[in-house]
Amino acid sequence: MAADHFRTEHSEHLPMHVPFDICQSKSKSKSGSALSLKPSLFAKNKEKRKEQECFKSSEKHILLRKGMVLLRKYISLSNQINIIKKCQELGCGPGGFYQPVFRDGAKLHLQMMCLGKNWDPEMKSYGDRRSIDDACPPSIPVEFNKLVEQAILDSQVFIKQDQKLSNVEDVLPGMSPDICIVNFYTESGKLGLHQDRDETPESLKRGLPVVSFSIGDSAEFLYGDNRDPDMAHKVVLESGDVLIFGGEARHIFHGVPCITRNSAPSSLVEESNLLPGRLNLTFRKY
Ligand code: SIN
Ligand code: MN
Protein backbone atom coordinates (compact mmCIF):
# COMPACT_ATOMS: atom_id res chain seq x y z
CA MET A 1 0.00 0.00 0.00
CA ALA A 2 2.67 2.51 1.08
CA ALA A 3 4.95 1.44 -1.78
CA ASP A 4 2.25 2.00 -4.43
CA HIS A 5 1.31 5.29 -2.86
CA PHE A 6 4.73 6.77 -3.57
CA ARG A 7 5.35 5.20 -6.92
CA THR A 8 4.30 7.38 -9.80
CA GLU A 9 3.77 6.03 -13.32
CA HIS A 10 7.25 7.32 -14.23
CA SER A 11 9.12 5.97 -11.23
CA GLU A 12 9.23 2.21 -11.82
CA HIS A 13 13.04 2.09 -11.76
CA LEU A 14 13.70 4.82 -9.24
CA PRO A 15 14.47 4.04 -5.60
CA MET A 16 11.62 4.44 -3.15
CA HIS A 17 11.68 7.57 -1.09
CA VAL A 18 10.95 7.07 2.59
CA PRO A 19 8.74 9.86 3.92
CA PHE A 20 10.02 11.96 6.81
CA ASP A 21 7.43 12.85 9.45
CA ILE A 22 8.14 16.24 11.06
CA CYS A 23 5.85 15.40 13.99
CA GLN A 24 6.32 12.91 16.73
CA SER A 25 3.73 10.13 16.51
CA LYS A 26 0.84 10.51 18.98
CA SER A 27 1.43 7.10 20.59
CA LYS A 28 5.07 7.96 21.33
CA SER A 29 4.29 11.36 22.79
CA LYS A 30 1.43 9.97 24.93
CA SER A 31 3.50 7.14 26.39
CA GLY A 32 6.15 9.66 27.38
CA SER A 33 8.82 7.33 26.03
CA ALA A 34 10.48 10.04 24.01
CA LEU A 35 11.21 13.73 24.23
CA SER A 36 9.47 16.36 26.30
CA LEU A 37 7.26 16.00 29.29
CA LYS A 38 4.20 18.24 29.43
CA PRO A 39 5.27 21.66 30.74
CA SER A 40 3.81 22.66 34.09
CA LEU A 41 1.43 25.60 34.38
CA PHE A 42 4.25 27.48 36.10
CA ALA A 43 6.57 26.92 33.14
CA LYS A 44 3.86 28.02 30.70
CA ASN A 45 3.14 31.23 32.61
CA LYS A 46 6.85 31.96 32.81
CA GLU A 47 7.07 31.61 29.04
CA LYS A 48 4.14 34.01 28.56
CA ARG A 49 5.70 36.59 30.89
CA LYS A 50 8.98 36.29 29.03
CA GLU A 51 7.20 36.96 25.73
CA GLN A 52 5.39 40.01 27.09
CA GLU A 53 8.58 41.46 28.57
CA CYS A 54 10.32 40.90 25.30
CA PHE A 55 7.77 43.03 23.48
CA LYS A 56 8.02 45.89 25.95
CA SER A 57 11.70 46.23 25.30
CA SER A 58 11.99 45.59 21.58
CA GLU A 59 10.46 46.56 18.28
CA LYS A 60 8.09 44.15 16.56
CA HIS A 61 9.09 45.16 13.03
CA ILE A 62 12.75 45.74 12.25
CA LEU A 63 14.33 47.13 9.10
CA LEU A 64 17.56 45.10 8.87
CA ARG A 65 18.74 46.86 5.72
CA LYS A 66 17.16 48.43 2.65
CA GLY A 67 14.59 45.92 1.33
CA MET A 68 15.05 43.55 4.29
CA VAL A 69 12.43 43.44 7.04
CA LEU A 70 11.97 41.18 10.07
CA LEU A 71 8.38 40.87 11.36
CA ARG A 72 8.87 39.38 14.81
CA LYS A 73 6.23 36.96 16.13
CA TYR A 74 4.08 37.77 13.11
CA ILE A 75 2.44 34.34 12.67
CA SER A 76 -0.10 33.53 15.39
CA LEU A 77 0.26 30.33 17.39
CA SER A 78 -2.84 28.83 15.74
CA ASN A 79 -1.52 29.64 12.25
CA GLN A 80 1.86 28.14 13.15
CA ILE A 81 0.09 24.95 14.25
CA ASN A 82 -1.96 24.88 11.03
CA ILE A 83 1.21 25.34 8.94
CA ILE A 84 2.93 22.48 10.80
CA LYS A 85 -0.07 20.19 10.28
CA LYS A 86 -0.27 20.99 6.58
CA CYS A 87 3.49 20.51 6.11
CA GLN A 88 3.33 17.21 7.99
CA GLU A 89 0.50 15.99 5.75
CA LEU A 90 2.18 17.08 2.52
CA GLY A 91 5.61 16.02 3.76
CA CYS A 92 4.50 12.41 4.28
CA GLY A 93 2.88 12.18 0.83
CA PRO A 94 4.18 12.07 -2.77
CA GLY A 95 6.77 14.80 -3.34
CA GLY A 96 7.25 15.08 0.45
CA PHE A 97 10.36 15.58 2.59
CA TYR A 98 13.68 14.04 1.57
CA GLN A 99 17.34 14.73 2.27
CA PRO A 100 18.78 16.43 -0.81
CA VAL A 101 22.29 15.95 -2.16
CA PHE A 102 24.53 18.51 -3.90
CA ARG A 103 26.38 17.82 -7.15
CA ASP A 104 29.60 16.89 -5.26
CA GLY A 105 27.67 14.24 -3.32
CA ALA A 106 27.49 16.21 -0.06
CA LYS A 107 24.18 15.90 1.72
CA LEU A 108 22.30 18.98 2.89
CA HIS A 109 21.91 18.99 6.68
CA LEU A 110 18.14 19.22 6.49
CA GLN A 111 15.00 17.62 5.07
CA MET A 112 13.43 19.45 2.14
CA MET A 113 10.11 19.51 0.28
CA CYS A 114 9.21 21.79 -2.63
CA LEU A 115 5.74 23.15 -3.30
CA GLY A 116 4.61 24.66 -6.60
CA LYS A 117 7.84 23.90 -8.48
CA ASN A 118 10.71 21.57 -7.71
CA TRP A 119 14.10 23.07 -6.93
CA ASP A 120 16.94 20.72 -7.80
CA PRO A 121 20.02 21.36 -5.60
CA GLU A 122 22.26 19.37 -7.96
CA MET A 123 21.29 21.31 -11.08
CA LYS A 124 20.50 24.54 -9.21
CA SER A 125 17.34 24.95 -11.27
CA TYR A 126 13.58 24.56 -11.11
CA GLY A 127 11.44 21.92 -12.82
CA ASP A 128 8.07 20.19 -12.67
CA ARG A 129 9.28 16.84 -11.29
CA ARG A 130 12.14 15.84 -9.02
CA SER A 131 14.82 13.40 -10.05
CA ILE A 132 14.91 11.18 -6.93
CA ASP A 133 11.47 9.65 -7.55
CA ASP A 134 9.93 11.64 -10.40
CA ALA A 135 7.25 13.03 -8.06
CA CYS A 136 5.48 16.32 -8.83
CA PRO A 137 5.65 18.93 -6.07
CA PRO A 138 2.35 19.48 -4.24
CA SER A 139 0.61 22.86 -4.74
CA ILE A 140 1.14 25.68 -2.29
CA PRO A 141 -1.88 25.85 0.07
CA VAL A 142 -3.84 29.09 -0.60
CA GLU A 143 -3.78 30.06 3.07
CA PHE A 144 0.05 30.10 2.95
CA ASN A 145 -0.02 32.50 0.01
CA LYS A 146 -2.51 34.81 1.75
CA LEU A 147 -0.22 35.06 4.76
CA VAL A 148 2.78 35.83 2.53
CA GLU A 149 0.95 38.58 0.64
CA GLN A 150 -0.30 40.14 3.89
CA ALA A 151 3.22 40.03 5.40
CA ILE A 152 4.60 41.91 2.38
CA LEU A 153 1.81 44.51 2.59
CA ASP A 154 2.47 45.03 6.31
CA SER A 155 6.20 45.37 5.62
CA GLN A 156 5.51 47.96 2.93
CA VAL A 157 3.33 49.99 5.33
CA PHE A 158 6.11 49.77 7.93
CA ILE A 159 8.83 50.86 5.48
CA LYS A 160 6.67 53.72 4.23
CA GLN A 161 6.17 55.04 7.77
CA ASP A 162 9.70 54.38 8.96
CA GLN A 163 11.47 55.82 5.92
CA LYS A 164 8.85 58.44 4.92
CA LEU A 165 8.75 57.01 1.41
CA SER A 166 6.12 57.28 -1.30
CA ASN A 167 7.69 54.78 -3.72
CA VAL A 168 7.81 51.77 -1.43
CA GLU A 169 7.37 49.31 -4.35
CA ASP A 170 10.85 50.36 -5.51
CA VAL A 171 12.32 49.38 -2.15
CA LEU A 172 10.25 46.25 -1.51
CA PRO A 173 8.09 45.08 -4.42
CA GLY A 174 4.89 43.05 -3.89
CA MET A 175 4.96 39.37 -4.82
CA SER A 176 2.52 36.48 -5.18
CA PRO A 177 4.52 33.26 -4.72
CA ASP A 178 4.45 30.23 -7.00
CA ILE A 179 7.31 28.38 -5.25
CA CYS A 180 7.72 27.41 -1.61
CA ILE A 181 10.74 25.49 -0.33
CA VAL A 182 10.03 23.87 3.02
CA ASN A 183 13.06 22.90 5.11
CA PHE A 184 13.07 20.98 8.34
CA TYR A 185 16.25 21.31 10.40
CA THR A 186 16.78 18.80 13.20
CA GLU A 187 18.74 20.14 16.17
CA SER A 188 21.99 19.53 14.30
CA GLY A 189 20.66 21.01 11.04
CA LYS A 190 22.41 23.88 9.26
CA LEU A 191 22.70 25.57 5.88
CA GLY A 192 25.80 27.30 4.48
CA LEU A 193 25.88 30.86 3.19
CA HIS A 194 24.39 31.11 -0.30
CA GLN A 195 22.32 33.37 -2.55
CA ASP A 196 18.83 32.54 -3.85
CA ARG A 197 19.36 33.17 -7.54
CA ASP A 198 17.76 30.31 -9.46
CA GLU A 199 14.50 32.12 -10.13
CA THR A 200 13.91 33.77 -13.54
CA PRO A 201 16.14 36.72 -14.55
CA GLU A 202 12.97 38.85 -14.64
CA SER A 203 12.02 37.92 -11.05
CA LEU A 204 15.58 38.57 -9.82
CA LYS A 205 15.93 41.81 -11.75
CA ARG A 206 12.71 43.15 -10.28
CA GLY A 207 13.95 42.21 -6.79
CA LEU A 208 10.78 40.24 -6.07
CA PRO A 209 11.21 39.29 -2.41
CA VAL A 210 11.93 35.99 -0.71
CA VAL A 211 9.57 35.57 2.24
CA SER A 212 10.66 33.23 5.01
CA PHE A 213 8.55 31.75 7.85
CA SER A 214 10.29 30.30 10.92
CA ILE A 215 8.46 27.81 13.15
CA GLY A 216 9.70 25.69 16.08
CA ASP A 217 13.19 26.02 17.54
CA SER A 218 15.05 29.31 17.03
CA ALA A 219 17.94 29.59 14.62
CA GLU A 220 20.89 31.86 14.11
CA PHE A 221 20.54 33.48 10.69
CA LEU A 222 23.60 35.02 9.02
CA TYR A 223 23.37 37.54 6.20
CA GLY A 224 25.85 39.71 4.36
CA ASP A 225 27.40 40.80 1.10
CA ASN A 226 29.68 37.82 0.59
CA ARG A 227 30.13 34.16 1.51
CA ASP A 228 32.41 34.88 4.49
CA PRO A 229 30.59 33.99 7.74
CA ASP A 230 33.00 36.16 9.75
CA MET A 231 31.84 39.23 7.85
CA ALA A 232 28.14 38.41 8.14
CA HIS A 233 25.52 40.02 10.38
CA LYS A 234 23.61 37.77 12.72
CA VAL A 235 19.97 37.77 13.77
CA VAL A 236 18.06 35.14 15.75
CA LEU A 237 14.91 33.91 14.05
CA GLU A 238 12.25 32.66 16.47
CA SER A 239 9.04 30.75 16.06
CA GLY A 240 6.44 32.89 14.29
CA ASP A 241 8.97 35.31 12.77
CA VAL A 242 8.70 36.35 9.12
CA LEU A 243 11.81 37.57 7.33
CA ILE A 244 11.54 39.31 3.97
CA PHE A 245 14.38 40.24 1.63
CA GLY A 246 13.69 41.89 -1.70
CA GLY A 247 14.70 44.90 -3.79
CA GLU A 248 18.36 45.71 -3.14
CA ALA A 249 18.57 42.94 -0.54
CA ARG A 250 17.34 40.19 -2.88
CA HIS A 251 20.86 38.93 -3.56
CA ILE A 252 22.18 38.85 0.00
CA PHE A 253 24.22 35.85 1.05
CA HIS A 254 22.44 34.08 3.88
CA GLY A 255 22.61 30.87 5.88
CA VAL A 256 21.73 29.09 9.09
CA PRO A 257 24.81 28.03 11.14
CA CYS A 258 22.87 26.48 14.03
CA ILE A 259 19.59 25.69 15.69
CA THR A 260 19.02 26.45 19.38
CA ARG A 261 17.91 23.30 21.18
CA ASN A 262 14.70 23.37 23.17
CA SER A 263 13.82 26.94 22.21
CA ALA A 264 10.44 26.36 20.58
CA PRO A 265 7.44 27.62 22.58
CA SER A 266 6.25 24.73 24.72
CA SER A 267 2.60 25.34 23.79
CA LEU A 268 3.48 24.97 20.09
CA VAL A 269 5.31 21.68 20.65
CA GLU A 270 2.56 20.39 22.90
CA GLU A 271 -0.24 21.16 20.46
CA SER A 272 1.50 20.22 17.22
CA ASN A 273 3.84 17.41 18.32
CA LEU A 274 6.53 19.01 16.14
CA LEU A 275 9.83 17.13 16.48
CA PRO A 276 12.74 19.00 18.09
CA GLY A 277 14.06 21.29 15.37
CA ARG A 278 12.96 24.07 13.07
CA LEU A 279 10.54 24.29 10.18
CA ASN A 280 11.32 27.00 7.61
CA LEU A 281 9.27 27.94 4.56
CA THR A 282 10.71 30.25 1.91
CA PHE A 283 8.35 31.63 -0.72
CA ARG A 284 9.43 33.09 -4.04
CA LYS A 285 8.13 33.99 -7.48
CA TYR A 286 9.66 31.98 -10.31
C1 SIN B 1 17.05 29.14 2.88
O2 SIN B 1 17.82 30.06 2.68
O3 SIN B 1 16.70 28.40 1.97
C4 SIN B 1 16.50 28.89 4.25
C5 SIN B 1 16.78 29.95 5.24
C6 SIN B 1 16.27 29.64 6.63
O7 SIN B 1 16.17 28.46 6.98
O8 SIN B 1 16.00 30.57 7.38
MN1 MN C 1 18.17 30.70 0.62
Tens of pLDDT along 125-155? 999 999 999 999 999 999 999 999 999 999 9
Neighbours of 266 (CB within 10 A): 16
In the 8-state DSSP scheme, what is residue 268?
H
Decide if 2 is inside a domain.
no
Residue 40, burial from CB neighbour count under 10 angstroms (0-12, 13-18, 19+):
exposed
Is residue 33 assigned to a domain? no
CA 183 / ligand 1 centre spacing (Å): 7
Say if strands 111-115 and 179-185 run parallel, antiparallel, or are unpaired: antiparallel
The 8-class DSSP code of residue 122 comes to T
With the most atoms of ligand 1 within 8 angstroms of its CB, the residue from 280, 281, 283 to mutate is 280
Is residue 182 a part of any domain in this protein? yes
In a domain, 92, yes or no: yes
Tell me whether residue 48 is in a domain. Answer: no
Instruction: Tally the domains of the chain.
Output: 1
Residues with CB under 6 A from ligand 1: 181, 183, 191, 212, 221, 254, 256, 280, 282
The per-residue pLDDT for range 31-78, each reduced to its tens digit, is: 444 334 455 565 566 555 555 444 444 689 999 999 999 999 999 999
* pLDDT on residue 10: 43
**Residue 145: per-residue pLDDT:** 98
Range 172-201 average pLDDT: 97
User: β-pairing, 125-127 with 111-115?
Assistant: unpaired
Q: Which of 117, 116, 120, 96 is nearest to 108 (CA)?
A: 120
Q: What is the distance, to the nearest Å, from the Cα of residue 97 to the centroid of all Cα atoms in its chain?
A: 13
Instruction: Measure the CA–CA gap between 172 and 212, rounded to whole angstroms.
Output: 15
Whether 9 maps to a domain, the answer reads no
Give 117's Cβ-side CA count (13 Å radius).
18
Give the domain CATH number at 66.
2.60.120.590
DSSP tag of 131: T
What ligand 1 atom has the least distance to the C-alpha of 110?
A: 7
Whether residue 184 is contained in a domain is answered as yes
Q: Which domain holds residue 172?
A: 57-284
Phi-psi region of 15 (alpha: psi -120 to 50; beta: other; left: phi over 0): beta
Q: Residue 59's pLDDT is what?
A: 84
The answer to whether 259 touches 269, Cβ cutoff 8 Å, is no
The arithmetic mean of pLDDT across residues 91-98, rounded, is 97
In ligand 1, the atom with minimum distance to the C-alpha of 185 is 7
* CA–CA–CA angle 214, 284, 101 (5° rounding): 75
Distance 164 CA to ligand 1 centre (A): 30
Q: Measured in angstroms, how far is the CA atom of residue 128 from the centroid of ligand 1?
A: 21
Residue 26 lies in a domain: no
Half-sphere exposure in the Cβ direction for 110 (13 Å, CA): 22
Which atom of ligand 1 is nearest to 243's Cα?
8
pLDDT at position 140 is 98
Q: Give residues whose Cβ lies within 5 Å of ion ligand 2.
A: 196
Query: CA end-to-end span of the chain, whole Å?
Result: 35
